[in-house]
Amino acid sequence: MAKPDNRADNLDHLQNAISDTIENLSEAEDYLDEHADEISPQDRQAIESKNDRRRQSIEGFKSEMQDEAAYQDQS
């Protein structure tokens, strides 16, 4: 038997995911600022690409939060 859909803490989970992703993004940017002359162009590009994906994830999480908030308002 399937478990019932419990969405009570989805907004909290999404906010935690956003916070964690922003923290990782910031740490990676700080690393690049401090060590840009010590890393290879390939490594720099890999970090920058990962940060681009992090920014996209943050936008996706924000959109999910809006959807979840709308769902909870309807409930």
pLDDT tens column, 23-73: 999 999 999 999 989 999 999 999 999 999 999 999 999 999 999 988 888
Burial class of 29 by CB neighbour count within 10 A (0 to 12, 13 to 18, 19+): middle
Quote the pLDDT of residue 19.
98
DSSP string, 6-64: --TTHHHHHHHHHHHHHHHHHHHHHHHHHHTTTS-HHHHHHHHHHHHHHHHHHHHHHHH
**What's this model's pTM, rounded to 2 decimal places?**
0.85
